[in-house]
Amino acid sequence: MFHGAIVATVTPFRNGKVDAAALRRLVEFQIRSGTDGIVPCGTTGESATLSYDEHEQVIDLVIRAVDGRVPVIAGTGSNNTKEAIVLTRYAKRAGADAALVITPYYNKPTQNGLIAHFTAVAGSADIPVILYNVPGRTGVNMAAETVARLAEVPNIVGVKEASGNLAQICDILRMTPKTFCVLSGDDGLYYPMLALGAKGIISVVSNVAPKEMADLYDAFALGEVAKARDLHFRLWPLMQALFIETNPIPAKTALAMMGKIREEFRLPLCAMSAANRKVLAKVLSDLKIR
């Protein structure tokens, strides 16, 4: 059910509030471009600074705009297990196809704590749960053995792996059932992880180049490995540029350059530096992304 190029969508703002019209337009842009799924309220969606009401608003907006055409995987994680349960239950009620639940940030739980946290969240709602491991943002790494343990929970169906550690990724793929959905959380490792057996990606780059990211997956799935590799290297400068500053600053800046959203962030995120803006603009120009 969950495969291919899935976008972790930005949350557009206008005068400090969620820009509902722009978000609906982004959903249409993604679906027209062949995106295989949409994740609202992830890291790229600035979930850490959304209020509860805004979190629910964004999930609702995306589900209604998608209208069943692709899966919606709602970000519902928190460093507070009770809050993650509340958000996951809401995603279920709203009609999301799955919940993406990040490892608790800041409080740095042990591996046993991670198992207890995710087991409690998964048990709280009858909805598929995808684990999200991104130690560079959270301060805690979920070990392959922990993922394998959690894969035994019936409704924990996959993991977004953004550790950047290919050895760990190999262990996860080796230790979990083939039905378990391993998705890349690093755009730069999208193609290498497909080669190892991953089922796709939850992507930042897909915000800006959704068709190309979807084409890469489709080529690989059809056995056109050389074509997929060529697309990987064509997109490589963009994969680098969209992380030249903290995500989602470059992605939102690029979308503003493309005329799709206003260039507006919520503190503590702020506008790109002038020097990095020039780098990003050149990459977009070179790739003819408008």
Tell me the catalytic residues. 132, 160
Task: Tell me which H or E stretch contains 130.
Answer: strand 129-133
Element (H, E) at 229: helix 225-241
Among 2, 65, 12, smallest CA distance to 207 is for 12
Give the residue from 142, 52, 51, 38 showing the smallest Cα distance to 97: 38
How many Cβ atoms sit within 10 Å of the Cβ of residue 88? 27
Distance CA 76, CA 58 (A): 12
DSSP string computed for 196-259: HT--EEEESGGGT-HHHHHHHHHHHHTT-HHHHHHHHHHHHHHHHHTTSSSTTHHHHHHHHHTT
Residue 242 amino acid letter = L
How wide is the angle at C-alpha 184 spanned by C-alphas 211 and 8, nearest 5°?
55
What φ, ψ does residue 102 adopt, rounded to 5°?
Answer: -75, 155
Q: What angle do the packed helices 225-241 and 274-286 form, to 10 degrees?
A: 160
Place of tokens 């709203």: 94
The encoded tokens of residue 155 equal 């409704």
| Tokens read off for 38 | 């949409």
SS3 160: strand
- Residue 288 phi/psi, 5-degree rounding, is 60, 40
